[in-house]
Amino acid sequence: MEDFVYTGLATRVIFGTGTLKQLADEAKRLGMSRPLVLSTPHQRSEAERVAGLIGPQAAVFSGAVMHTPVEVTMEAMKVAAEAGADGVIAIGGGSTTGLSKAIALRTDLPQLIVPTTYAGSEMTPILGQTENGSKTTLRDNRVLPETVIYDVSLTSGLPVGLSAVSGLNAIAHAVEALYARDRNPVTDLMAEDGIRALARALPRIGRDGLDVEARSDALYGAWLCGISLGCVGMALHHKLCHTLGGMFDLPHAETHSVILPYVMRYNMQAAPDAAQKVARALRADNAATGLRNLAQEIGAPLSLAQIGMPAEGIGTAAIEATSNPYWNPAPVTEPAIRALLTDAFDGVWPD
């Protein structure tokens, strides 16, 4: 056994079906009496439902959007100040969780997150924010939520298409964790089992979105994938997705789902142990092809062109992604990243 360092994350997790009924007690345990409840505009009714579990003293802000723009965070901060908020409750996916983290970074208010997708970001001390068309990330324990309530019943209405890309987004967290510079045996176990659970669940959800067992497996897998990335550093995959999302406002989960097999292919020779674990979790002979086949099976987008990236942006994105790269097992060069993005733009995959 090689030497390693593992730092556990302190988030309390409540997992099950019908667990939303524990929210009021959990908020009280965290010292919240006047929380600010966050959601996207589309999920405002869910935010109002959550606020109703607390009482009339809870305020609602339903302006969360992708990539956590700083100007939206400032709007939410105003509402929090006016309400005298003593905590933040977020219900939704990565956009809402990101906004909660951005507020916590600036106020140190306690957070209670209720995920309704498989984003997994609720389990990480990582925050990505966008300002002036550029997305930057930071790691700070102040943004790590105090409690996450996973309620499987809240994911049953997640559309099949969104379930697919959200699940692949989660898998991307685990894949990256398996070849991270500071990976360790504990995160390896969590990451591999997270991939396995999602790979088992997502095709079943595609066939029957109301399959409770599959929904439970997917949410469990998303939790493991999120916490595995939360314990280690990010690499090329996340650098590319953050660059593309910030520059072109591409849909977050879809960007991850397209880029994932291409970065796995890029890193396979430099990270053979990680590739072996990914392939084993997918029950595939080849990690990259296995990820590509899973995306195809569940109907996820297979090219950057398909999700709205402009062709003329490839070169600019390659320059941006390599100007200040994250650590990565394979060397990162502008020509190589330009070639990767070109293939991903066209959806080219070897037979």
Question: Per this entry, what is the length of the chain?
Answer: 351
Partners of residue 112 on adjacent β-strands:
89, 147
Mean pLDDT of the chain: 95
- What pLDDT is stored for residue 1 in this prediction? 66
Can you tell me the distance from the alpha carbon of 29 to that of 23, in angstroms, rounded to the nearest whole number? 10
Sequence letter at residue 338: R
Q: What is the DSSP string of 273-311?
A: HHHHHHHHHHT-SSHHHHHHHHHHHTT----TGGGT--G
Can you tell me the distance from the alpha carbon of 226 to that of 177, in angstroms, rounded to the nearest whole number? 9
Q: What are the residue ranges of helices labelled H in the chain? A: 23-29, 44-54, 70-83, 94-107, 160-178, 185-207, 212-230, 236-248, 252-267, 272-282, 287-297, 314-323, 334-346
Look up residue 59 and give its DSSP letter: E
Taking a C-beta distance cutoff of 8 angstroms, is the pair 194, 174 a contact?
A: yes
CATH of domain 12-155: 3.40.50.1970
Taking a C-beta distance cutoff of 8 angstroms, is the pair 137, 242 a contact?
A: yes
pLDDT in tens, 91-131: 999 999 999 999 999 999 999 999 999 988 999 999 989 88
- What pLDDT is stored for residue 6 in this prediction? 83
Taking the domains of the chain in order of start, what are their residue ranges? Answer: 12-155, 160-233+241-307+314-346
- For the residues 70-94, what does the mean pLDDT come to? 96
Look up residue 314 and give its DSSP letter: H
Taking a C-beta distance cutoff of 8 angstroms, is the pair 288, 308 a contact?
A: no
- What is the band of 10 on the pLDDT scale with cuts at 50, 70, 90? confident
- What pLDDT is stored for residue 2 in this prediction? 74
pLDDT in tens, 31-56: 999 999 999 999 999 999 999 999 99
Nearest of 59, 167, 48, 44 to residue 103 by alpha carbon:
59
- For the residues 264-286, what does the mean pLDDT come to? 98
- The CATH homologous superfamily to which domain 160-233+241-307+314-346 belongs is Dehydroquinate synthase-like - alpha domain (1.20.1090.10)
Strand order from edge to edge, sheet including 59-61: 12-16, 147-151, 111-115, 88-92, 36-38, 59-61
Classify residue 75 as left (phi > 0), alpha (psi -120 to 50) or beta: alpha
Q: Which comes out higher in pLDDT, residue 7 or 125?
A: 125
Instruction: Using DSSP, state whether 88 is helix, strand or coil.
Output: strand
% of the chain exceeding 70 in pLDDT: 99
Both tokens of 11, joined, read 């988030």
148, containing H or E segment? strand 147-151
Can you tell me the distance from the alpha carbon of 166 to that of 117, in angstroms, rounded to the nearest whole number? 6
